[in-house]
Amino acid sequence: MRPFTKHTGLAAPLDLANVDTDMIIPKQFLKSIKRTGFGKNLFDELRYEDEGQPDQECTGRPLREDFVLNLPSYKDSSVLLARQNFGCGSSREHAPWALDDYGFRSIIAPSFADIFYNNCFKNGLLPIVLAAEEVDQLFVEVTAQEGAQITIDLENQKVTSPTGAEFSFEVDSFRKHCLLNGLDDIGLTLQQEDSIRSYEEKRMNEAPWLFLSREK
Amino acid sequence: MSGKTLYDKLWDSHLVQQRDDGSALIYIDLQLLHEVTSPQAFEGLRMANRKPWRVSSSLATPDHNVPTTKKERISGVDGIEDPVSKIQVTTLDDNCDEFGITEFTMKDIRQGIVHVVGPEQGATLPGMTVVCGDSHTSTHGAFGALAHGIGTSEVEHVLATQCLVQKKSRNMLVRVDGELSPWVSAKDVVLAIIGKIGTAGGTGYAIEFGGTGIQSLSMEGRMTVCNMAIEAGARVGLIAVDDTTVEYVKGRPYAPKGEHWDMAVEAWKDLVSDDDAQFDEVVVLKSEEIKPQVTWGTSPEMVIAIDQPIPRAEDQEDPVKKEGYARAWKYMGLEGKTTLADVTLDRVFIGSCTNSRIEDLRIAAEVVKGRQVASTLKQAIVVPGSGLVKAQAEKEGLHEIFEAAGLEWREPGCSMCLAMNADKLGAGEHCASTSNRNFEGRQGFGGRTHLVSPAMAAAAAIAGHFVDVNDLVKH
C-alpha cells in the first residue's frame, strides 16, 4: 500500500450530503475483476450526461458542465471536500478504488458511513472527519479562490486551510501507523498467528459445531 | 457492573486480541462469498502466495449478476449473454475450485442470493460471526449472530487470517412494542425505523431490535429487519435468540446434529441481552402506529405511510434536508403530485435479499391471486431468493398464481435490486420494489425506485399505482 504522510493538493468542493456508493461508482462498473481503472467512471452519473458502460472510452462523452470535477479549476484535485454521511450504502471497495484511481488522496467531511470509512484506509486514502463548521469554512475558502490548496499532515493529525487556518483531526493509532508506513495489515495480523491458533483451540472446545467441515 | 448486551457477548466470545488503541482482532466463523467483491481478494492471495486459513469457514455462490430468465439460465455460466458478467461468475467458479471452497454454482439448485442461501442451509448459526463483501450481511444478525458487510481488502484479510481488525461499536436498542396491524410486515417496521432515525442514525452503532413487535416476527421477517440495519447506517443489526430461532435452524443441512445440536442449543440460550444491560441509545416505536410504508425519494429515510402526503422541500427547516428533498423531488419527477397514489408505476419488482423468501412470495401471491396486474404496467417480475425458494414456491403453485395474474416468474438472483444483470429500469421509470435501496440510478440509469413490502408491491402491481393493501384486499 502506498504510504500517506503529508499531502498538499487542490481541493474540490462536492456540496452534496449523503453521497452514496452508487453515486461514487455505479454498479455496471463493478463487473471488473481488477482493482484499477475505475477513475474515469468516478461519480459517473453526476459527471456525464449519458449512461456509462464498462470498458467504454470516456473522452468525448457529454459532460454535466456544472459538476465540480468538470470545472477546469478542479479537474486535477487530490483532496475532496464533502458533506455529511459520505459513502453511505454498499460495501463496494470499488468506491475508494475509484477515488484513488482518479487521483484523490484524502476526503474531508463532517461524517462518513462506517464501511466506506474503513475501506479507505485499506487503500492509502485518508478520510478525515472535521467539525461541520470547519468543513463549512474549508468550503468557503476553497470556492473563494481558484487553485486553493489544502495541506494534510497525518503525523501531526492536522489540516491546513488555504488561508492557513489549522484544524486537528482524530485517527485510530493503528490505522495511522499502517497508513504512515504503507503497511499491509494481513502481514501484521499473521504475526499474531499464535494468538489466533490458541483462540481456535479454546473455541473448538466450547463450540465444536463451528469447526465442522461442510460437505459439498 | 451492569450486564452485557447481546452485541457485547458476541464481541467478547470472538475476541482474539485486544489492542491498546481500542482496535481488536476478531475471529470470523463464516465468510460468504459472491462474484462481485471477491475476485480482487483471491488475486491478492495469489500475489502474496497465501492460502485461506480455514476453507471450511467459507461458502460461495454467484448472485449479483446472474441472469434471471430461463433462456439465459438453461446452460449455466455459458448462457450468460453479457461477456463481462460471465467473466466475473467464471472467475468465482475458478477461484473456488483453486482454493477448495464450497460453492453453489449456477447449476446447483442451492444457488441464490448469499443472504438467503446462508440461513437456508443452516450455514448461518446463532452466536457466529458472519462476514461477506456485501453491506446487507447484517441480515444474518436475525440469528443472534454478529454479522456485517466488509470491503474486498477485508474479504482477503479474513480469507488469509480468519480474523478482522475491528473497533467495537456502541450499543443501540430499537424496541418495537405491541402487535402489528394487519398487512403491516417486517419491511414496514424497518422502513418506519429508518424514517425515524435516518440513514445515518445508526452510524457507529450495533442495533439490537427488540420488543414484542420484533419477537412476534418469523425468522424471515427478522431477516428483513436486520437486512436493512445498514440503511439506518448501522453495519450490524441483531435480534436475540429465542425458540423461533432454534426451530428455524433445526434440521437444516449445515446445522449441528446429535450431541453437537444439544450443546449448541444450550449455548444459544445465553444469546440475549442481560436484563440490566446498558444501551448507549434506545429508540422506541409503537407497532400500532406503523402503517404500510412507501419511500418517495432517493434515500431510504425518505419514507412515508401510504396515507401521508409527500413531504415538500419548502416545508423543511433543516437546510441540508431542504436541499436533499428538492433534489429528490426533481429526480423522482414528483412535481404536481401530492400523494404516492398519484405516481403511475412502470414496473414492479418482488425479490432481493430483503424480500425474496418463501413467506414474502406467499404474501405477494395472496394479494394478486384472482386479480390482474394493471394494463399500464410495463413489467412485473418475481425473483425468488434461491433455487430452493423457487422450488418450494412451485410446489405450492405460487408461480401459477403469479403468472395467471400477469407477473413474470424468474430464476434466483439479486436481479433488479441493483441491476447488474439485464433486469433494470429505464430512465424516468417508476418502480415499486421490495428491495432495500432507492438511491439515484440504483435500479437503472435514471430509474425511480419506491421501496415497499411484498404485499404493497403486489397491491401496486394490481392497481398500477400505490394503494393501501388493506383497501385492495377488501374489494
The number of C-alpha atoms within 13 Å of B337 and in the hemisphere containing its C-beta is 19
Instruction: Give the count of beta carbons closer than 10 Å to the beta carbon of residue A40.
Output: 18
* 169-198 of B, contacting A, C-beta below 8 A: none
d(CA A35, CA A155): 28
Q: Which of A115, A120, A170 to mutate to test the interface with B (most CBs of B within 10 A)?
A: A115
Asked if B149 reaches chain A (Cβ–Cβ under 8 Å), the answer is yes
Q: A80: which residues sit within 8 A by CB, 6+ positions away?
A: A11, A12, A14, A99, A104, A106, A107, A108
DSSP B307-333: TSPPPPGGG--SHHHHHHHHHHHHHHT
Q: Which CATH superfamily is domain A6-183 in?
A: Aconitase, domain 4 (3.20.19.10)
Q: How far is CA B200 from the centre of its chain?
A: 18
The number of C-alpha atoms within 13 Å of A83 and in the hemisphere containing its C-beta is 12
Query: 3-state SS of chain B: helix, strand, coil percent to 5?
Result: 40, 15, 45
What phi, psi does A203 have (nearest 5°)? -70, -35
Does position B345 have pLDDT exceeding 70, yes or no?
yes
Asked if B423 reaches chain A (Cβ–Cβ under 8 Å), the answer is no
Q: What is the pLDDT of residues A61-74, one digit of tens each?
A: 999 999 999 999 99
- Tell me if B25 sits within 8 A of A196, measured CB to CB: yes
List residues bridging with B18 in a β-sheet: B24
Q: Where are the domains of chain A?
A: 6-183
Tell me if A93 and B151 make a contact (CB, 8 A cut-off): yes
Residue percentage of chain B with pLDDT more than 90:
98
Does position A92 have pLDDT exceeding 80, yes or no?
yes
Q: A129: which residues sit within 8 A by CB, 6+ positions away?
A: A109, A110, A111, A112, A169, A170
Does position A213 have pLDDT exceeding 90, yes or no?
no
Does position A216 have pLDDT exceeding 70, yes or no?
no
Q: What is the pLDDT of residues B408-419, one digit of tens each?
A: 999 999 999 999
Q: Terminal CA-to-CA distance of chain B, rounded, Å?
A: 57
- Tell me if A104 sits within 8 A of A37, measured CB to CB: no
Closest CA to A161 of A170, A174, A152: A152
Query: How many CB contacts within 8 angstroms connect chain A with chain B?
Result: 193
How close B284 gets to chain A, by Cα (Å)? 23
Q: Which residues in chain A are contacts of B319 at CB distance < 8 A?
A: none
Asked if A210 reaches chain B (Cβ–Cβ under 8 Å), the answer is yes
The grid coordinates listed for B200 are: 445515518
Does position B7 have pLDDT exceeding 70, yes or no?
yes
Asked if A90 reaches chain B (Cβ–Cβ under 8 Å), the answer is yes
Asked if B432 reaches chain A (Cβ–Cβ under 8 Å), the answer is no
Q: Which residues in chain A are contacts of B44 at CB distance < 8 A?
A: 186
Does the annotation place B226 within a ligand binding site? no
How close A49 gets to chain B, by Cα (Å)? 11
* 231-290 of B, contacting A, C-beta below 8 A: 233, 235, 254, 256, 260-261, 263-264, 267
For residue A21, the SS3 value is helix
d(CA B263, CA B399): 40
Q: Which of B439, B443, B445, B451 to mutate to test the interface with A (most CBs of A within 10 A)?
A: B439
Name all domains of chain B by residue range, CATH numbers in brackets: 21-166 (3.30.499.10), 293-474 (3.30.499.10)
Q: Which residues in chain B are contacts of A210 at CB distance < 8 A?
A: 29, 125, 128
Identify which of B102, B199, B235 has the shortest CB distance to residue A216: B102
The grid coordinates listed for B162 are: 480468519
Asked if A170 reaches chain B (Cβ–Cβ under 8 Å), the answer is no
- Tell me if A68 sits within 8 A of A74, measured CB to CB: yes
- Tell me if A42 sits within 8 A of A107, measured CB to CB: no
- The type of residue at B7 is Y
Q: What's the confidence (pLDDT) of residue A1?
A: 87
Tell me if B442 and A92 make a contact (CB, 8 A cut-off): no
d(CA B455, CA B34): 29
Q: What is the pLDDT of residues B274-329, one digit of tens each?
A: 999 999 999 999 999 999 999 999 999 999 999 999 999 999 999 999 999 999 99
Does the annotation place B417 within a ligand binding site? yes
For residue A29, the SS3 value is helix
What phi, psi does B160 have (nearest 5°)? -80, -30
- ipTM of the complex model: 0.95
